[in-house]
Amino acid sequence: MNQITLRANAKINLSLDIIGRREDGYHLMDMIMQSVDLCDLVRLEKGTDIRVSLLSSDNGSALSIGENNTAHKAAAAFFRYTGLPGGVSVQLTKHIPQEAGMAGGSADAAAVLIGLDKLYETGLSRQEFLDIGVTVGADVPFCLVGGTARVRGIGENILPQPMFGFGHYLIVKPPFGISTPLSFKRFDTMDSCRRPDNDALLAAMASHDLPQMQRVSANVLEQAAESPEIEAIKQRLRSLGAGFSLMTGSGSAVFGLFAEKEAAAQAAEPLSDCGRVYLAAAAPAGVQVADFS
């Protein structure tokens, strides 16, 4: 096998809590996360060095990307860990919105690690993947596993849960981003906030009880963002029929979970004035093979 194309699935947070802080400054998380089928395409081909390019969906041209890109970092981490000679040419076709809290860069990095493992037949274990992934980014371990999971620590402690495939997600990405470092700094100065009850959330997910999910879930970074626009989008999603709505990650994307696909699709047009709108369903994995040769 010389080349492989993978789907790098986005993630959403069904909850997000911060429960502490390590001495090195990293925040300790407790989150319920879900992969969705909104994805980037990541094409890998064996090479002699590491090259990453972004393929334009408009004209098919490729723009070279530097070493700070997470896909490049993941490839470098793979070859450093395995000690293998060689390289890879990575071509990214982006569909996951940026500055959205949907782990687009981390999903690409996870796809690079899984793709390289297949191309070079290294047979890495799940723990080896996680150990490499967390050095690239905090969301990379979840993106390597995907599906439905409770995520703890700084993102490296993945506890897979029964697949939550119920309903359809309407995701709204407003035209502004939210600074992740600033959101964490704001959280650190907050006296109190509404926190999720993740045990109750998992129970509500098991019974597909969207109103109960709304009652027991929360995203503390959404509260730290203090954005009236985010709250307005949530309210509009609810008014259009979403049973559960929340900002994902550090934002700025907001999702509404609808029981029926038709209802989610019908709500898309009224929300188009809020930003870019995406319809998605749950995905069983963070990375899926699309093609190989």
pTM over 0.75: yes
In terms of domains, do 45 and 185 share one?
no
Return d(Cα 244, Cα 246) in angstroms, integer: 7
Query: Among residues 140, 162, 184, which one ends one of the domains?
Result: 162
- Tell me: pLDDT of 84 over 80: yes
pLDDT tens-digit series, residues 155-211: 999 999 999 999 999 999 999 999 888 889 999 999 889 999 999 999 999 999 999
Q: Is the pLDDT of residue 59 over 80?
A: no
- Residue 24 appears among annotated catalytic residues: no
Indicate if 135 and 236 belong to the same structural domain.
no
* Residue at 217 is within a domain: yes
Same domain assignment for residues 189 and 142: no
Q: Which of 11, 73, 94, 234 is catalytic?
A: 11
Domain of residue 185 covers 168-280
127 and 158 in a single domain? The answer is yes
- Cα 149 to chain centroid distance, Å, stands at 12
pLDDT at 61: 65
Is 17 within the bounds of a domain?
yes
Is the per-residue pLDDT at 293 higher than 80?
A: no
Asked whether residue 92 carries a pLDDT value surpassing 90, the answer given is: yes
- Active-site residue flag, 273: no
Looking at the fold, whether 123 and 49 belong to one and the same domain comes out as yes
Catalytic member of 40, 139, 173, 234: 139
Q: Please report the pLDDT score of residue 60 as a whole number.
A: 61
Task: Please give the tally of structural domains in the chain.
Answer: 2
Cα gap 163→199, rounded to integer Å: 16
Other beta carbons within 10 Å of 59: 6
pLDDT in tens, 101-157: 999 999 999 999 999 999 999 999 999 999 999 999 999 999 999 999 999 999 999
Question: Residues 164-194, buried b or exposed e (16+ Cβ, 10 A)?
Answer: bebbbbbbbbbeebbeeeebbeebeeeeeee
Cβ atoms within 10 Å of 126's Cβ, excluding its own: 11
**Is residue 15 domain-shared with residue 122, that is, in the same domain?**
yes
Q: Does residue 1 contact residue 293 with C-beta atoms inside 8 Å? A: yes
